Every structure is written in C-alpha cells, then in structure tokens.
Amino acid sequence: MRGERRLPTRTPESRAFAERVQVVMGLTARLNAMPFDDLDGRRTLLTEIFGGPVPDSLTVLPPFHCDHGLGASFGERVFINQGCYFLDLGGITIGDRVLIGPRVTLTTAGHPVEPAERFDFITSAPITIEDDVWIGAAATICPGVTIGRGSVVGAGAVVAKDVPPMSIVTGTSAVERRRLSSP
C-alpha cells in the first residue's frame, strides 16, 4: 500500500504506542460518558485526545472511539456523527466541510498480509479526506486511501483504493487479489 510504514512489535516504540492507546481509550471513555450538552467538556477532552487545539467548528458526536489521537488533523466545519472509529496511527487528514456519517471507520493501521510477519509488525498508512467530502453511514476507509475533493462514499462502502475528486463510490464486494504462500 502507498505510504506504508512498519512499526516492529516488542520494541520501545511499539510499547509507547500501546501506552498512548491506553491513555486515549480512557479519554474517549470519559468523552462518551459525559452529558451530551457539556460542549466545553467535550472540547476539552477532544483537545486532549488529539494532542492540541481543534477547530471551534469541529463537531464530534459521541460515542466516538479513537486509538492514538496524535495522528488526526481537521479542517473547518467538519461534522463527525455518532459511533465513529478513528484508528489514526498512520495519520488522518480531514479537509474543510467534510461530513462523516454514523458508524464510519477510518483505519490507518493493520498488520502485514504474510502470515509469517503478521505478529512482528503493525503496518500503517495515512488516510486523506479532501474538502467537501461526504462519507455515508457505516463506510470503512482503509489505510493509504485518499478521498478526492467533493466526492461521496456511499453507506456501507469499503474503500481500499483512492477515490477521484467529484466521484460517487459504493459497494462492499470482496475480490480475491492474490493467493498467500503457505506457512
């Protein structure tokens, strides 16, 4: 995948990542338990989750789940609906005026495909969502994908390759890409 990085497991770097995940899981649990109308408290927790100030025009409706926090950045007037999951180790960049439907998953991390390497690394690649994109309910955006300006990702779609600007994409069909070698 384009832009893939590998984080070796059982290293100081992977332990630091795991420690950050524990911190962010605690912060998101607090975010999801607070009263819905506590907008100032929500903004304070989002600032902690994402490691710095977020735009005043950012709306994140709980429940919201994030594993790292430090890899996400947001443009103006971004709306993130309920039940979304951001796995942002590889970086998530969201442009201006982006609408993200409920239960959307943005996952920048995974593991190597080859069975012999699967437990040795965490792989990651960035996701970029350009300006004026709408991602429908329960869509999944995979590592290394760019969603082009003005595009629409249909509800339930699984997006594993780039979406050109001003496009509508839908679908969840599984396609065999290649065979793996036997372990």
Just list the catalytic residues.
Answer: 111
- Write out the H or E segment, with its range, that includes residue 17: helix 12-33
Rounded alpha-carbon distances, angstroms, from residue 7 to 129, 157, 172 = 24, 28, 29
Cβ atoms 17, 68 nearer than 8 A: yes
Neighbours of 129 (CB within 10 A): 26
